Chains A and B, each alone.
Chain A
Amino acid sequence: MATTDEWRRQHQRYKEDVKRRGKPFYPYAMFHDTVMSLVVVSVIIGLAAVWYYTSGEDPKTCGSGDSCLLGPRYSEPADPATTNFVPRPDWYFYFLFYLLRIFKWPDSVILGTVGIPTVMLIIAFALPFLDRRMERRLTRRPVAIVAAILVVISMGELTYKGAIAKEALASEVVQAVPSWAQRQGFANNAEAVAGAKIFASSGCTACHTYLGTGSSNQGAPDLSAEATRGKSKQQLMAYIRDPSQFGNNIMPKFGFSDQQLSQLAAFLLASKGPK
């Protein structure tokens, strides 16, 4: 750790050195800056061109008619009523998005949504006050090097995992309903089977897992044995109708009808865990 006087002397020396032996910003550094800026603009134009020319006006033709190398021009119009859509942020939020798979609702999910990102941000802001040594050469900053490598690896890994995480489409999940009914033993309970179909087709498995189907996201719990948690049908219906009333601000309101809510609750109450 250097004293303030040492820092000041060092910076004074820097200013004298630069004045004596430095080179003017224009044209030397500005040349590099200009070349780099032209590269940046070219890359942006290139990405825009590839994106446009590999996609079509209709988002549905992506994958069949158009290759959509860089994704569609837009997806289907926003529709709060359809629920079988897998939410996914832009790629630079994937690390946050994937972080939430590690933590489970309700015990520790706050660590993923708020805790870890806030701590990382505070460390980033406080960095100049945490590292007060004068040394700048990398070979003599082992802690900084290790921290940098760990941050890059963990953020890279989380981003990569978030990118390859594949959520099943509702149409595929619905096909699993008969096997659920058989394994849970509710094949004769028509209301529960109807609820299972709603569960499978409404995108619930984008966050919840059920008998190994679906992907654990946003800290949502596995629902295979929900009946064992001792909630009544009325409680389940009220919870699904508006989770925010129960302090759950992550799960959205899906706008189910009373009949659908009743069927979903029956399905959950028939889910006693696989035999």
Chain B
Amino acid sequence: MAVTTRTRKSARRRQLEAAINYPIDWLEERSGLIGGLRYFLFRKVPGDTNWFHTLGSATLTAFLVQALTGVILAMYYQPDATVNPATGTSAAYGSIQHITNDLTLGWLVRGMHKWGASVFIILLFFHMARVFLFGAYKYPRELNWIIGVTLLVFGMLEGFTGYLLPWDQTAYWATVVGINLNGTAPILGPFLADFLRGGAEIGGDTLSRFYSLHMLLLPGAIFALIGLHLYLVIRLGVTSPPWSREAAGTDWNEKPSENGRSGLTQPSGRSAWRRNGADT
């Protein structure tokens, strides 16, 4: 009796497993994506990766917050500098007021986008500092460092183009100065300034131009570069901290210092314990 129940149950379980596995197998057979995901999740990283290594994914999270809130803002924002005679303000400024003051949780979406930009830039710099201090830009990761610096530049350009969009005094005059500064560059400067302005004066054309760059060209490029950045991280592996002896650039024959201070430049007691095979 008990045996029959177990067999029936396990038959049902087998059916369930088959039902779950079928679409997974179907997708795997046709794309190899499941294998890729398994490789991504279960690939080995150095045993002594630590909180410093989370700065990259934290930056990615901040960018995804920007992407998501940006999509929602684009549903309500109007990149139109034309002054509405009824209200006396531009459509762009009016839509920013509407989003912030009237829409349900509009303040949260715009606030997260506005402050997420700063958090994103700060995390970019922290992540860059970590990579620099760990010497993680060295062979074979030179290309990934260059992609990272490009991402920093594009991130700051996102900040520059996004700053104009509320079309308030702060935005307008900061952009007047910013574009004029671009204009001082030799040879290319005046052309760049004209291109950014979309004419002789900063006006409606500048606004729609900045909006297009801010929500199409730059984020598209950033998404692509982040994809490449992550691909290289997975392909080349996560750099171990400079103080680790296994999986690192230190000499195998070199003894770790017995009386060194633990911390950023020396192995901490805990990682020494781990290194000796405690949890491998």
Contacts and interface: CB of A to CB of B under 8 A. Distances in A.
Interface of A: 2, 7, 10-11, 13-15, 17-19, 21-26, 28-30, 32-33, 35-37, 39-41, 43-45, 47-49, 51-52, 57, 59, 70, 73-80, 82, 85-93, 96, 100, 109-110, 113-114, 121, 124-125, 127-129, 131-132, 134-139, 141, 144, 148, 152, 218, 244, 249-253
Contacts of B218: none
Given A80-B203, A249-B183, 18 more contacts: A17-B247, A18-B247, A22-B44, A29-B238, A33-B54, A35-B54, A44-B119, A47-B115, A48-B111, A49-B111, A51-B114, A74-B168, A78-B169, A82-B169, A89-B174, A134-B249, A138-B265, A148-B129
Nearest to A39: B58
B174 to A, nearest CB: 5
Nearest to B52: A32
Contacts of A13: 247, 252
A118 to B, nearest CB: 8
Contacts of A33: 54, 57-58
Contact of B139 (A7, A26, A77): A7
B97 interface: yes
Contacts of A77: 89-90, 93, 167-169
B181 A250 contact: yes
A139 B41 CA distance: 34
A244 B238 CA distance: 51
B1 to A, nearest CB: 40
A32 B54 CA distance: 7
A249 B176 CA distance: 10
B103 interface: no
A14 B247 contact: yes
Interface stretch (B2-10, B16-24, B155-163): B155-163
Given A77-B90, A148-B132, A252-B176, A44 B137 contact: no
B15 interface: no
A93 B159 contact: yes
Contacts of B140: 7, 11
B202 A76 contact: no
A19 B44 contact: yes
- 10 closest Cβ contacts across the A-B interface? A48-B111, A249-B183, A136-B135, A22-B44, A17-B247, A128-B142, A78-B172, A87-B173, A36-B54, A136-B242
A74 B96 contact: yes
A90 B159 contact: yes
Contacts, number: 273
A75 B45 contact: no
Given A74-B93, A78-B90, A128-B138, A100 B100 contact: no
B34 interface: no
Nearest to B167: A78
State the main secondary structure of chain A at its contact with B.
helix
B177 interface: yes
12 contacts: A13-B247, A21-B47, A24-B43, A24-B45, A25-B41, A32-B54, A36-B54, A74-B168, A77-B89, A128-B139, A138-B133, A252-B180
Interface in B212-265: 237-238, 240, 242-243, 246-250, 252, 264-265
Nearest to B162: A90
Contact of A10 (B61, B159, B166, B249): B249
B154 interface: no
B95 to A, nearest CB: 11
A23 B107 contact: no
A92 B156 contact: yes
Nearest to B246: A17
A59 B101 CA distance: 12
Contacts of A121: 149, 153
A93 B40 CA distance: 37
Contacts of B243: 137
B180 A250 contact: yes
A22 B46 contact: yes
Given A32-B51, A75-B169, A136-B138, A148 B133 contact: yes
A93 B96 CA distance: 23
